[in-house]
Amino acid sequence: MAPSATETITIPSQTETPTVKLTSNSGPYKELAPIGYEKSAEEEGSHPAKYQNYLPHWGNELYPPLERYEHRDRGIDADTKYPDLLSEGVEVNDLTPTIGTEVTGVQISKLSNAGKDQLARLVAERKVIAFRDQDFADLPIPDALDYVRYFGRLHIHPTSGAPKGHPEVHLVHRGLGDKTAQAFFQTRTSSVAWHSDVSYENQPPGTTFLYILDVPEAGGDTLFANQVEAYNRLSPAFQERLHGLKAIHSGIEQVEASRSKGGAVRREPVTTEHPLVRTHPATGEKALYVNPQFTRSIVGYKQEESDMLLKFLYDHIAYGADFQARLKWQAKTVVVWDNRTTSHSALVDWKTGQRRHLARIAPQAEAPFETPFKA
| Residue 209: strand pairing partners | 336, 361
Asked if residue 247 lies in contact with residue 309, where contact means CB atoms within 8 angstroms, the answer is: no
Higher pLDDT: 262 or 38? It is 262
Q: Which of 366, 186, 208 is nearest to 282 (CA)?
A: 366
Q: d(Cα 284, Cα 287) in Å, to the nearest integer?
A: 10
Domains present along the chain, CATH in parentheses: 30-38+48-54+66-361 (3.60.130.10)
Q: Which of 167, 163, 212 is nearest to 362 (CA)?
A: 167
**The residue type at 123:** V
22 has a pLDDT exceeding 90: no
42 has a pLDDT exceeding 60: no
Percent of the chain predicted with pLDDT > 70: 88
Contact residues for 110 (Cβ-Cβ < 8 A; gap 6+):
none
The pLDDT-based confidence of 177 (bands split at 50, 70, 90) is confident
190 has a pLDDT exceeding 50: yes
SS3 call for 295: strand
Q: d(Cα 358, Cα 197) in Å, to the nearest integer?
A: 15
Asked if residue 275 lies in contact with residue 12, where contact means CB atoms within 8 angstroms, the answer is: no
Paired sense of beta strands 295-298 and 91-94, if any: unpaired
DSSP at 65: P
Asked if residue 247 lies in contact with residue 298, where contact means CB atoms within 8 angstroms, the answer is: yes
With 0-12 / 13-18 / 19 or more C-beta atoms within 10 angstroms meaning exposed / middle / buried, residue 353 is middle
Q: d(Cα 122, Cα 2) in Å, to the nearest integer?
A: 13
Q: d(Cα 366, Cα 115) in Å, to the nearest integer?
A: 21
Q: Which of 308, 261, 372 is nearest to 8 (CA)?
A: 372
The full DSSP string for 274-305 is EESEEE-TTT--EEE---TTTEEEETTS-HHH
15 has a pLDDT exceeding 60: no
SS3 call for 87: coil
Q: d(Cα 35, Cα 86) in Å, to the nearest integer?
A: 34
32 has a pLDDT exceeding 50: no
| Residue 222: strand pairing partners | 327, 346
Q: d(Cα 184, Cα 192) in Å, to the nearest integer?
A: 12
The pLDDT-based confidence of 326 (bands split at 50, 70, 90) is very high
